[in-house]
Structure 1
Amino acid sequence: MTSVLARTALSHRICTGIPRKQLGSLIAELAVPWMARQDSRLRERRGHDRLRAEGGGPGHQLVFTDRVIATLVVLRFQLPHVALGVLYGVDRSIITRAVHEIRPLLAVRGFAVPGESGSRLRTLADVFAHADARGVELRLDGTEIRVRRPRAGKPGRRAFISGKMRQNTKKATVITDEKGRTLWTGAIRPGRMHDQMAVNTERIGDLFDRFPTVKAKIDSGYRGLAKRFPDQLQAPPKRPGKDAPASYVTQWAQARKQQSSERICVEHANAEHKQWRTLQRYIGRREHYDDTRLAIAGLVSDRTAMR
């Protein structure tokens, strides 16, 4: 199979997870920062500016467009790099190098703003400013992904063991709007850390102080935040005691169901992220997980922003 045939087949939205029209826009968006990084890397290696005109010297075995497509396929299906190398007729190391070049560029893109083409949210403060300006009610939720177990004897090995899943995981916090459109993913921490502690490391309490009009619906894992900001955060009602009257139990069940139905959209957003095979169970190196998570979440936000 030639590289042209591989590009034609792999550029389909089934393989990349995004339509071809959006793929073209993404390639154009990433071309400038990729060239800047390449020039910086080459200049650092040479120790001086280039002496030959641009275009001189050997060309890339895998052109930039194919590098982006190969990276998207790896993120989408966690396909072995050797298999993609066979399709493109290059060595496995070429695919690996392409993924390492493109994945960080995807990770720093940020998240699309619904109804505002060209605007992106990159920090948690950006999300709160957007919610404050547009009157958006946020939804917060934590999600965990299984990762490789650290080698025996490595310091901090137990930090990845999740108390909920009893597996080695990394967790991330996802924030959406009322329609389940991804606005931010971050606070990526080892699985043993509690959901509320993870967002506290991002100083979310200070942001609620700065933006007193921003409100959010959360699950019981953030009940401490709800106690601190009762007018801004709504957590599920506490379960009544065993000796509570039946009418009170019925009222509690109805309130809990109502709060759950209003918060379920963030669970649907998590499910959209995990449609990408890489986030169903991550088998790559843990040091690359953060970039992988952010890259996929940013691509998903591009699609959900159009809803």
Structure 2
Amino acid sequence: MIAELIAEIGPLWHERHQARLTERLRQRAVGAGAKHRFVFIDRLLATLVSLRHGTTHDVLAWCFGVDRSTITRAIGEVRPLLAQRGCTIAPDVRLRTLAEAIEYLGANGRTGIIDGTEIRVRRPAAGSKVRDKFISAKTRQNAVKAMVLTDADGRVLFCSPVQPGSCADITQARQLGMVQLLADGPFMEILADAGYQGMGAQTGGRVITPPHRKFKKNAPAWYEERHEQQRKAHSSRRIRVEHGIAHLKNWRALTRHLGRREHMSDIVQAVAGLLSHQQTAAPDRGLRA
């Protein structure tokens, strides 16, 4: 996998590096001056270690024998390139947008599952206008939220950019254009939890959520039993998305982020792309990891 990433990301990084050198007026020729001691392979490895194990930049700088600022700059250059790779579903097929993921599910008659996941982040500074914007209504902690779409086996097909933790799951899905994509696309099943109730009517029944309670008080005994059976059946079908999210959270960068919140979208999408690549390369091991 490392060799494939080097072959794919290396030329993109070199192209961007050359573009930065030539986009401004210079007093010396491109390529003159001191040469990089921190080569691209080491930059990629430092980024992968940071994402997988949450290793601090100070520790990485000591391991690679460079300055902390060099590690920070290297990760900032490589991480967006990993985020742009998209989710791998076959050696030659990748899904980079929600529209592509929906089209893939519809073309193959597959069932999709969506859910939101929260990642704890640092609280905005006192006096900031967005100080309360990141507080999650569910956990009452500062967090950002991403929407994850998997297939029925729990394989990650798409992971959205993050929104502040106060954003509701259904609101994020609507902002991503999911209602329009499903309403205009082929008929398919998208399983979701109660946080997405209301999308079923907007998408022609394509989004399936847990059944509503018809009796709020004095429900017959037979109805309580049937309602519980229906909810359990729905939960057992959509549990795979929870497994997919658990695999994402195995990457320490997504357990709790202590850096800049502005980088979270790249971090989440980079991890999703790397995880899907791993699952495609070794399907059985990837789904159990």
The residue identity in structure 2 corresponding to 1:301 is S
Give distance in 1, aligned partners of 2:26 and 2:222.
77
Q: Return the match for 1:288 from 260, 263, 279.
A: 263
User: Does residue 1:173 correspond to 2:147, yes or no?
Assistant: yes
Q: CA RMSD in A?
A: 1.6
Q: Quote the offset at 1:242 in angstroms.
A: 3.2
Give distance in 2, aligned partners of 1:232 and 1:275.
31
User: Unaligned 5+ residue runs, structure 2?
Assistant: 284-289
Instruction: Kindly indicate whether the alpha-carbon contact (under 8 Å) linking 1:112 and 1:301 is maintained by their aligned counterparts in 2.
Output: yes
SS at 1:159 equivalent: coil
Instruction: Kindly indicate whether the alpha-carbon contact (under 8 Å) linking 2:162 and 2:264 is maintained by their aligned counterparts in 1.
Output: no
TM-score normalized with structure 1 length: 0.88
Count residues in correspondence: 281
Per-residue Cα deviation, 1:268-295 (whole angstroms, up to 9, x for no partner): 0110000011111111111111111111
How does 1:240-259 map onto structure 2 within 5 Å? 240-259=215-234
SS at 1:173 equivalent: strand
Instruction: Kindly indicate whether the alpha-carbon contact (under 8 Å) linking 2:121 and 2:256 is maintained by their aligned counterparts in 1.
Output: yes
TM-score normalized with structure 2 length: 0.93
The residue identity in structure 2 corresponding to 1:249 is E
2:136 corresponds in structure 1 to: 162
SS at 2:101 equivalent: helix
Give distance in 2, aligned partners of 1:60 and 1:47.
18
Q: Quote the offset at 1:51 in angstroms.
A: 4.2
User: Unaligned 5+ residue runs, structure 1?
Assistant: 1-21
How does 1:65-76 map onto structure 2 within 5 Å? 65-76=41-52
Give distance in 2, aligned partners of 1:35 and 1:68.
12
1:148 corresponds in structure 2 to: 122
SS at 1:158 equivalent: coil
Q: Quote the offset at 1:246 in angstroms.
A: 1.0
Q: Quote the offset at 1:301 in angstroms.
A: 1.0
SS at 1:174 equivalent: strand
Give distance in 2, aligned partners of 1:37 and 1:214.
40
User: Does residue 1:208 correspond to 2:182, yes or no?
Assistant: yes
Per-residue Cα deviation, 1:115-167 (whole angstroms, up to 9, x for no partner): x2121111111011111111111100001111010111111221111111101
Q: Return the match for 1:193 from 167, 170, 189.
A: 167
Q: Return the match for 1:264 from 229, 239, 244.
A: 239
The residue identity in structure 2 corresponding to 1:235 is T
Q: Quote the offset at 1:169 in angstroms.
A: 0.6
2:18 corresponds in structure 1 to: 39
1:62 corresponds in structure 2 to: 38
Instruction: Kindly indicate whether the alpha-carbon contact (under 8 Å) linking 1:163 and 1:192 is maintained by their aligned counterparts in 2.
Output: yes
